Every structure is written in C-alpha cells, then in structure tokens.
Amino acid sequence: MDFAGQQSLLAPLVKTPEVVVPAGIAPAYWEKLVPKDNPGTQAQVALGKRLYFDPKLSKDGTVACATCHDVSRGFGDGRNTSEGIGDQVGRRNAPIVLNTAFFSSQFWDGRAATLEEQAKLPIVNPIEMGQPNGAAAVAAIAKDATYQKQFQSAYGRAPNYDDMGRAIAAFERTLVFLNAPFDRFLSGDPKAISPAAKGGWMLFNGKARCNSCHQLNSSSPLGTDNRFHNIGVSARHQDFEKLARSALTSLEKDSSAAAIDKLALETDLSELGRFVVTRNRSDIGAFKTPQVRNVGISGPYMHDGSLQTLWDVVDHYNKGGETNTYLDGGIEPLALSEAEVDQLVAFLFALTDDRLSAQNTREQKRQATLAKKQRPFRDTKRANREVLPFEAAKGGK
Amino acid sequence: MPKRKQERPQLLGVKSVETRYLEDRQQLYTALKSLDRRSFMKVSAAALGATAGLSAPHGFQPISVAHAQTKQGKAQKFNFAYISDSHLYERKLNDRFVNQLMRAVDDVNALDPQPDFVFYGGDLAQLGQPKELELGAQILKTIKAPLKVMVGEHDWYFDMGEKWRELFGEPTYSFDHKGVHFVVLNSVVEKDFWTKRKLTPMERMRTVAGLDNGVQSSFTVGDAQREWLKKDLAKLPVTQPIVVFSHSPLYKLYKPWNFWTDDAEQVQAILKRFKSVVVFHGHTHQLLTNRIGNIHFHGLLSTAWPWPYAPEGMPELTVQMGRPDPFNPHDGLGDGLVTMHPDGMADMVYNLWNRNPVTISKKYMATNGKQAKPAKPKLRSY
C-alpha cells in the first residue's frame, strides 16, 4: 500500500489532535478544562484567531471581537463601557479576555456557562455587533473560500454559528497570561517585587481582606472565587427595588439568553447584575468577582467602568463599599491608611504578566498621576468607622 | 399469613364529608355564643337539625350571621414574615449585626404584597443592655407591617425584662388573626442561679449568654405560663388552628447548647388535643424542622450568625443547610415568610441571603417528609 493510503488507515487508529496546550499548564488539567468537542487544535485556534479580528462578523462590518478586546489595551478597551456598531454605547465594561479559560462562568453576571456560549452572544446583540441572528453572521463569511477550508479542517463541517463560537473560544483559551513578577516572588525570588508590593501582599491576605473573594494561590491562580457579590458599586444612583420589579415583569415575558443579554447591555436593569440571571433576591446588584491577574492594565474598573484607577478601587473597599440592602456580608470598612492603600496598589500592579510589562508601567504612571489629582471615592471618616454605614444610610435617624 | 386490613390513607387536603360536617357544626356552636335573638331564630332550625343529625351535611353553611363571627372568624390563607436573633451590640463594639438586621427589615418591607404582620423571634440584643434594646426597637420601628415581638434570653437576663416591658410590653400574650389563634410565650425562664452566687446583673447576663457553662439551668416555660396557656386555650375547639411562638424550640434537642425546653412535654400535652398546631421558634439560628404528632416545629433563621447543627438528637425531617461559608458573614443567615393555610398548616420559606430560598411546605410536613422534599444542598452539613 502506498504511504498516503497507509496514513489514511493510521489516522483513525491513533488520534493525535494537535491540541495547543498553553505553556505552564499541565496537559492533564487542560484536558479536563476544555470541552470534548472543542479540544483546541491548531486548525481550530487559527480559525478562531481569524474570526476574532474579523469585523465582517458585525452587521455593518465595523466591529470585531478585537474592537472591545484590543490587544494593545490589555485585551480590553480602556473605556468605561464599550461601544458597538453605529456609535452605540452599552452598559457594561469590557472584561479582558486573558485567562478566561479558567473562569467557571463568563460575563459580569455569569449568564454564559462557557467561552463557546459567550463568544456567540455579542455577535447578535443589537448594540454590540448587531447581527439579526447567527445565520446572518455565518452568511457574512460563508462565501469566503479560505473560511470554508478552515471550517472544514477545524470541525469537518461547512461554516456554521456554533463552530464559529467554538473556534473563537479555542483561540481565547490560548491567551494564558499567568507569569508575573509576583509569581517569581512566590517561587522564591525576594527581589522580584518591590517592598511596597510585598506589604501589599500581606494586606491582601490580611487587613484588607481581599482574599475573602480574590483567593490567590497555586490552586486558584486567577484570584477569583468565581462567585457573585454586591459591593455597592452602583448603589449610589440606583433604586434596586424598583429595578428588580421591572426586571421580573420583562423576564416573565421572555427569559431567553438573548433577552437577558439585551437587558444587561441596554437598560438600567444592567445594574441588577446576577439577579437578571437567577431572579434570586440575594443576587441583586451582584457581579462576578473578576480576576486580579493583569489588573493593572484592565482599567477602568468594575462592571460599569465607574472607577478610573486602582486607588479608586481600594478607596471603594476601604470605606466598606456603598451601603445598600444587598451589600455582601464580607464588605466592611477596612481602616487602611494612605501608606497601606499605596502598598496594595503597588502589589496589584505586580500581577501583570511580563509580556505586558511595558503597558503596565505606562498605566501605573498614568493612574498615579490621575490619583494625585482626584480620589473621588476616598472617605476616611467611613473607612475609620467614625461614621458607621448604617448611620450614613439612615441620615443620623 | 392473613393480610392485615389496610387502613384507608388520609387524603391530604381533602376533607371527608364527616369532617366538614363536624367542623361546620363546631363553627355554628361558636357562632351561637354571640347571637342576638333575631339571628338566633335564623339558625336555630338548622342547628337543631344538626344536633339531631338530621340535616344534610353542610346544611348550615349558607347561613352567615353578620356578627356571629367570633374573633377567630373564618380561617383564610394569609402570610406573615419573620425576622429573628439579631444579637445587637452597642455601636462601638459591632455594627455588622446592625446592618444585618436592617437588611432583614428592608427585605420584609420590600415584600409585595405586604405580609399581614411581621413576627420578631427574640434575641434582639446581645447582652440585654438598654442601649442595645433601644437600638433594636428603633430599627424595628421602620417595618411597614404591624409588628409582633417575642423575648429571648439575651434580651431578658440583664434587668429581668424591665427594659423589654417598657419597649414592647408583656412577653406572654395571645392574639387572633384570620381564624388562627396565635400564642407568644416567654420560653426562656430559668431557675434562680444568681442570688446564691451573688452575681451582678452583668455576670448573670453573661452566664446566660454563654453556652455549656454548667451554671445556668435549662430554659422552661414554667408553671405560671403553662397555667395561663391552659386557660387561654380552654374555650377553643379542637379544630381551631393554633400557632405558638417560643424562643427556644418546644422540644428537647440538645441540652448543652440549651437547644432545649425543660418542660417541653408538658407544653406539648396542653397542645395535644388540637388538630393542627405549628410552633415557630428562634434561638437555633438554622434550618430546623420537626414534627411530634399533631405539632409541627419550624426554626427561624438568624440575622446575626448561623449555629452549627447539634451533634445528636437531630430531627429527621430537618433539611440541613450546608456549612456556611466562613468568608461570607451573611451566609446561612436570612429572614423568611410563612403562609398560613385555612387548615392551620403552614408553608415555611427560608429566605437565605447567600443561597437559594428553601421552602418547607405543609405537604412535606403532612407526609412526614415523603413528598415535596426540598432539594438537598450541595454542601455537607456541619
């Protein structure tokens, strides 16, 4: 038998998919992590990469995944909330796509269980990429001969919407950025991070209580508990009760994934966070704990991008968040001094992967300058419990 | 072996003709007590027929006499909410529990439709200090619905109820609402362990607030209150739905932690003759469910901290909540809502702040846990 014939016999006997396993991740763990039907072969990753940067997927050909998850901006967009087709602005801040393979749910409110599901929703969201449905997105690229070939070799089928999601997810899973100065410090190099950052690491696990939700250790490398917490970010300007009631009314009519996606991005109901998914009172205003990895380059912060610097973030926690009925039980005033706030921020900037260190340094300088000018969320009286949250809430009643 | 004759199973929620007849007759008799002459003429014929067993069952339902309604009235479905065990400290020492009580108040104020009343299950204060109780009263004042309060041991043993009475009145009382007779007890009466030992009020309070100390005696309802309870219930028919509120569970669960009422059996004996009795108790800070004959027991959630489960004596009906998350001080806490049905049975909803709500339905209770079983939590009990 000729060699080609032999090889075609061999193929089904010994399956060796060229799965791309990111450096530093144990193959056995990776196998558990990725879905069986989307192992992330070279072909799948290549297809996903092309789709990620292809604005043809959007209704007017102007927006790609990379528009809001811009490689030059730490795979985010540096905006408070993101802009889609036709200059429309949504209600949510674009999270960075780095390390998202390790999350147990996607989106700020966890409304998608997998990267595959996540990748498909923005394409058909009216204000993000605006396609009327998945078929329209497929039609936009289906005539392209290279795409046809790529889909064939990646999934053995003609272009279709589900495989589009799979391919984008396969590409995103290769974006593992877990190699920061902090990791070198943990593995025994005392000079890897500054003394201020070391102090910040102590505070992170101690007085500042960050590790209540951002568990950061070898078995939880992202620094997230994958849960949802109300820390009061939008409590300043929202009437949660009224919002929740109107959310229930509209979800009773339609609670499909697409409907939830629209609520989250287009209306004030965005502020309800996880509640829109579970309709459970205790999830009102709760959002997913984001990773602390690469946090230096992922500003502005929080689900609505309302905090501009990491100093603002620490100030927010320091005063015990914003008081509201659903405030998570672990949030309380921390009484951090100015020096301690600076140490914490120094530590947070030590969590950015070495490959992005130039961006990180630029951003650190920019934020430091901004923080010297404005610290709108600093409230020393509340941080030091001179004014208690409940007294502030009741107006001294 | 001859097969034993199967007893006919009692169909749940479907009353037999005989039962309905007897209930109607009972209602008529209660109504007769408050009749004026004219209305009496209206019903007497039916009544005579009924007593003689001549009239058809249900023969006197259509006859409603305007003021023949006793204060019990006709049973109907209604809701009440509950909050319990807030253990407030002075502001200097701890404001977390204050925030948590306020969260519970916000919860019940947000209920739509509003509950008929809100019941507070005791232990409003941590060390019975007047300041703590005043703070609690101030927060409870912001509840929109009418409020009913019960006393717990943490509220009582600093000044033996002096401040409590000033704020909330007598700790033992009963009231009727939409056909249900409610009884509120002070079940945390202890034998005098302090006089002989010459303890100060604060020492006495701290002893009671501690567990497992071997100094204090067990909680009781006590002779005086049991007499009062007998009198209070004496005139009521066996069909009267009864709800009892007690701070400690009215059964014996675990003595070292005072999850225990020493004269529980005697209190149960007083309640035995009624068809349907539901007891709601605070003190245990956890999901807790028990049934002894006709009496159903439901523990209330705390707003301050969750207790672990007792190492022995756990009632089988309890759907144990998993171990609370030590990183989330709200986990295992909450408040809740009770739906009272016309048959005197209750659906108990535990509104947990960090988890999905759990409903212990009347069906679950009536079938001894065979049906309508709430989902088992993923986390192990603790």
A11: exposed, middle or buried (C-beta count within 10 Å: 0-12, 13-18, 19+)?
exposed
Q: Which residues of A touch B99 (CB under 8 A)?
A: 323, 327, 389-390
CB B328 to CB A328 under 8 A?
yes
- Residues of chain B contacting A241 with CB distance shorter than 8 Å: 110
| B58 touching A (Cβ < 8 Å) | no
**B-chain residues near A388 (CB < 8 A):** 91, 95, 98
Nearest to B330 among A280, A281, A329 (CB): A329
Contact between chains at B331 and A280 (C-beta distance less than 8 A):
no
**Cβ–Cβ below 8 Å for A282 and B327:** no
Q: Judge: A390–B112 Cβ closer than 8 Å, yes or no.
A: no
Residue B22: per-residue pLDDT: 62
Record: contact B107-A325, CB cut-off 8 A:
yes
CB-based contact A241 B103, cutoff 8 Å = no
Nearest Cβ partner of A389 from B95, B327, B331? B95
Q: What is the pLDDT of residue B376?
A: 79
CA distances from B216 to B54, B122, B199, B285, B362 (A): 60, 19, 12, 21, 36
**How far apart (Å, rounded) are the C-alpha atoms in residues B377 and A338?**
43
DSSP letters for B141-176: TT-SS-EEE---HHHHTTTTTHHHHHHH--S-EEEE
Contacts for B91-94: CB closer than 8 Å, 24+ residues apart: B91/A388, B91/A391, B91/B135
Beta bridge partners of B336: B82, B350
Helix (H) or strand (E) segment spanning residue B21: helix B17-32
CA dihedral B66, B70, B72, B76 (to 10 degrees): -20
| β-bridge pairing B147-149 and B173-177 | unpaired
Of A146, A281, A96, whose CA–CA distance to A272 is shortest? A281
- Nearest residue to B78 via CA among B258, B306, B243: B243
List chain A pLDDT tens, one digit each, 397 residues: 888 888 788 777 766 557 778 877 888 889 899 999 999 999 999 999 999 999 999 999 999 999 999 998 889 998 999 999 988 999 999 999 999 999 999 999 999 999 999 999 999 999 999 999 999 999 999 999 999 999 999 999 999 999 999 999 999 999 999 999 999 999 999 999 999 999 999 999 999 999 999 999 888 899 999 999 999 998 877 788 888 888 988 998 888 888 898 888 888 889 999 999 998 888 999 999 999 999 999 989 999 999 999 999 999 999 999 988 899 988 989 999 999 999 999 999 999 999 999 999 999 999 999 999 999 999 999 999 888 877 766 543 3
Give the residue among A190, A200, A181 at the shortest CA–CA distance from A350: A181
Residues A324-357: pLDDT tens digits?
889 998 898 999 999 999 999 999 999 999 999 9
- Closest CB to A325: pick one of B103, B351, B352: B103
Closest CA to B162 of B111, B201, B206: B201
Strand B117-120 versus strand B147-149 pairing type? parallel
* Nearest-by-CA chain A residue for B135: A397
Contact of B64 with chain A, judged by CB distance below 8 Å, is answered with no
pLDDT (mean) for B257-285? 95
Q: What angle do CA A162, A101, A151 make, to 5 degrees?
A: 30
User: How many whole angstroms from its chain centre is CA A295?
Assistant: 10
pLDDT digits (tens, 9 = 90+) for B58-89: 333 333 333 333 444 567 899 999 999 999 99
Contact A193, A351 (CB under 8 A): no
| B95 close to A (CB below 8 A) | yes
Mutating which of B330, B352, B379 best tests the A interface, going by the most A Cβ atoms within 10 A? B330
Q: Which residues of A touch B95 (CB under 8 A)?
A: 385, 388-390
The answer to whether B357 contacts A212, with C-beta atoms less than 8 Å apart, is no
Partner residue opposite B353 with nearest CB, options A212, A282, A323: A282
Whether residues A282 and B110 touch (CB distance < 8 A) is answered with no
A389 and B96 within 8 Å at the Cβ level: the answer is no
Mean per-residue pLDDT of chain B: 85
Contact A325 B328 (CB under 8 A): no
The answer to whether A390 contacts B95, with C-beta atoms less than 8 Å apart, is: yes
Whether residue B110 lies within 8 A of chain A, CB to CB, comes out as yes
Whether residues B107 and A212 touch (CB distance < 8 A) is answered with no
Query: Is there a contact between A213 and B329 if contact means CB atoms under 8 Å apart?
Result: no
Q: What is the pTM of this model?
A: 0.82
Contact A121, A112 (CB under 8 A): yes
- Report the chain B residue with the minimal C-alpha distance to residue A387: B91
Q: Distance of CA A188 to CAs A181, A354, B117, B238, Å? A: 11, 17, 61, 76
B223 at interface of A, judged by CB pairs closer than 8 A: no
Say how far apart CA A105 and CA A224 lie, in whole Å.
11
Please judge whether B328 and A281 are an interchain contact, meaning their C-beta atoms are less than 8 angstroms apart: no
Per CB distance under 8 Å, which residues of A are interface residues toward B?
212-213, 225, 241, 245, 278, 280-282, 323, 325-330, 332, 385, 388-391, 393, 397
Nearest residue to A289 (alpha-carbon basis) of A230, A207, A238: A230
Distance from CA of A324 to the nearest CA of B (A): 8
